[in-house]
Structure 1
Amino acid sequence: MTSTVPAPSALTAEDSALQAVLLDMDGTLVDTEGFWWDAEKEVFAALGHQLDESWRDVVVGGPMTRSAGFLIESTGADITLPEVTVLLNDRFEARIGRGVPLMPGAARLLAELRAYDVPTALVSASHRRIIDRILESFGPDTFDLTVAGDEIARTKPHPDPYLHAAARLGAEPARCAVVEDTATGVAAAEAAGCRVVAVPSVAPIAAADGRVVVGSLEEVDLAFLRSLITAMH
C-alpha cells in the first residue's frame, strides 16, 4: 500500500487527545456496498424473487441477520436465515476474490495513521471470513485490531462493537474518532460515545452535534481527526 505521508510539521505538535481511530469497512474503506447488493439480488433471483431497488437503503450497512431477515420477509422466499446467510457470504466472497477497490483516500489515510503509530481498529458488521479476505487488500499490519459482526453478540446499530474495540485498544470512547458511511454505523458509534466522521456511500447522512459529514476520505487526515477530539475537550 503506497501513499504520501504528510511531514510531521503538517500535524499539530501538541499532544493530541485522540487515542484511537476506529474505521468501518464496507463502503468506508473498500467500495463493496454495491457488491453486497449485487450478491443479494443474485441470491434471491435464484430463489425466484426480484428485489426492489428501494430496499437497498434499508439493508445497507446493517448486520447480515437484519438485512437477510428483511429480504426474506419482504420477498416471502422459502429459505431460512442461516441458509441464506451462507449463500450471501459465498456469493460475496466469490466477488471480492476478483479484487476489492479501495475508496478514494483510504490507502493514504491508513498509511498516515500507521506512520504516526495511531492505534486503529477495523470495526465491521461483516463476518470474519469476509473481513479476512478483504484484509488481503490492505496488508497484515494495517490495523491493531479487527472486529467482525459474527464475533459480537449485538452488532451495529448497537454500540457494542465500538465499545469493544475501544476497550481492547485501551482507549476512552470519547477520545476515539470513528469513520463510517451508513446511518446504522453512525448510530452505533454515537451510542458508544465516539466522535464520528460520516462519509456517506449509498444514502445521505445529515450533519449533527458531535458528527461531521465529508464528501470522501480525501478530506480526512490525522490532523483533521485530532482536531475533532481536541475541539470537544
Structure 2
Amino acid sequence: MTSTVPAPMARTADGSALQAVLLDMDGTLVDTEGFWWDAEVEVFAALGHPLDESWRDVVVGGPMTRSAGYLIQATGAEITLAELTVLLNESFVDRISRGVPLMPGAERLLAELARHNVPTALVSASHREIIDRVLRSLGPERFALSIAGDEVGRTKPHPDPYLLAAKGLGAHPSRCAVIEDTATGVAAAEAAGCRVVAVPSVTGILPAPGRTVVGSLEDVDLTFLRGLIAGMN
C-alpha cells in the first residue's frame, strides 16, 4: 500500500528530461466515473430525490465535497454534507468491490513505466479508502506514492495534490507529465505547472498551450511523454 508523500526521491540526472509521470485515477486509469454517478443516483433515490441527467457533467470529475454539496442544493435533500459523503463512499466502495475495469491502454502504459523505472504517482480526488481498493487492481507496486483527496487541505482543481506528488518524487513540476480526464484535473495540473495529457472521458477538453489532448491511453507511451517534456526546451 502506498501513502501520501514519503521522503523525496532523487531527481533524474538530466534536468531537461521527463522526471515523473503523475496519473489521475477515476476515468483515467479505471473506468469508474459511471460508478460515481450510479452511486449518487442510488443514494438520492433512497432520499426521495431523482437526479437530473444534466447534472452528471457538473458533478463528475470534481472533489467529493463539491459534487455532494451541489446535489444537496440542487435537490433540496435534507441531509448534511458529512452524512451524504459517508453514504456516497459506501455505495461506491460496494461497486468497486465487485471489480474495477481498467481503461484501454492503462495496463500497457503502467507496465511500460514500471519496466523503465519511471517515477510514478497516483493523484486522485477520491478518498484514501477508495484509492487503496482500486490500487489492488492497478498494482500498488507500480506507484511510488499516491495522493488522496481527503489527505490534502485543498484538492483538485487546486494545484496542491500535484505539487505534493512532484515534491514527493523529487521532481520539478515542469518536468512532470500529468495524465487527466476532466477539466477539473487538468486545471489542477496546469496550475501546478505540469505538462498535461488530457484523455477526456465524460466531457470534451480542448487543446491549449502546455496541454495535449488524445483519444485514449492507447495513444500514450513513454516515448510520447518524453517528447512532450523535450518539446518544452
Q: TM-score, normalised by structure 2?
A: 0.93
Once residues 129 and 102 of structure 2 are traced to their aligned partners in structure 1, the CA distance between those partners, rounded to angstroms, is 19
How far apart, in 2, do the equivalents of 1:102 and 1:204 lie? Answer: 20
- Does the 8 Å CA contact 2:16/2:175 hold for their aligned counterparts? no
Where does residue 214 of structure 1 map in the other structure?
214
Q: Deviations over 1:63-95 (max 9, x none)?
A: 100000000000000000000000000000000
Aligned equivalents of 1:216 and 1:141: distance in 2?
A: 24
Amino acid at match of 2:156: K
In the aligned structure 2, how far is the partner of 1:15 from the partner of 1:158? Answer: 26
- 2: distance between equivalents of 1:194 and 1:140? 23
SS of 1:114's equivalent in the other structure is helix
Matched position secondary structure for 1:137: helix
Alignment of 1:72-111 (within 5 A): 72-111=72-111
Q: Shift in Å at residue 139 of structure 1?
A: 1.9
Deviations along 1:156-210, one digit per CA (max 9) or x if unpaired, are 0000000000001000000000000000000000000000000000000001111
CA contact (8 A) 1:16 1:226 kept: no
Distance in 2, matches of 1:180 and 1:31, equals 13
- Rounded to whole Å, the distance in 1 between the matches of 2:88 and 2:230 is 42
Contact 2:21–2:178 under 8 Å retained in 1: yes
**Structure 2: how far apart are the matches of 1:19 and 1:144?**
13
Alignment partners' CA distance in 2, 1:47 and 1:137 = 32
Amino acid at match of 1:130: I
1:128 and 2:115 matched: no
Q: What residue in structure 1 maps to residue 46 of structure 2? A: 46
Structure 2 partner of 1:68? 68
Contact 1:152–1:161, Cα closer than 8 Å, also in 2: yes
Whether the 8 Å CA contact 1:23–1:122 is kept in 2: the answer is: yes
After superposition, the CA RMSD in angstroms is: 1.1
What is the distance in 2 between the residues matched to 1:16 and 1:180?
A: 22
Kept in 2, the 8 Å contact 1:29–1:102? The answer is yes
Which residue matches 1:230? Answer: 230
Gaps of 5+ in 1: 1-13
Moved beyond 2 Å, runs of 4+: none
Aligned equivalents of 2:21, 2:126: Cα separation in 1: 19
SS in 2 for 1:98: coil
CA distance in 1 between counterparts of 2:23 and 2:55 reads 25
Shift of 1:140: 2.6
Is 1:170 aligned to residue 170 of structure 2? Answer: yes
Q: Which residue in the other structure is 2:56 paired with?
A: 56
Residue of structure 1 equivalent to 2:7: none
1:15: how far off?
9.1
1:73-120 CA-partner distances (Å, limit 9, x unpaired) = 000000000000000000000000110000000000000000000000
Q: Tell me, in whole angstroms, the C-alpha distance in 1 between the residues paired with 2:108 and 2:21.
A: 14
Partner of 2:138 in structure 1?
138
Amino acid at match of 1:224: F
Q: 1:170/1:137 Cα in 2 relative to 1: closer, same or farther (>3 Å)? A: same
Task: Check conservation: 1:179, 1:197, Cα contact below 8 A.
Answer: yes
With 182-191 and 14-23 compared, the bigger mean Cα shift is at: 14-23
CA contact (8 A) 1:23 1:123 kept: yes
Q: Which residue of the partner structure matches residue 197 of structure 2?
A: 197
Measure how far apart 1:60 and its partner are.
1.1
* Aligned mates of 2:75, 2:24 — CA distance in 1: 29
Question: How far apart, CA to CA, are the structure 1 residues paired with 2:164 and 2:16?
Answer: 22
State the Cα distance separating 1:39 from its structure 2 match.
0.1
User: SS at the partner of 1:43?
Assistant: helix
Matching residue of 2:11: none
1:147 Cα deviation (Å)? 0.3
| Partner amino acid, structure 2, of 1:220 | V
Per the TM alignment, residue 16 of structure 1 is displaced from its structure 2 partner at its CA by 6.5
The percentage of aligned residue pairs carrying the same residue is 78
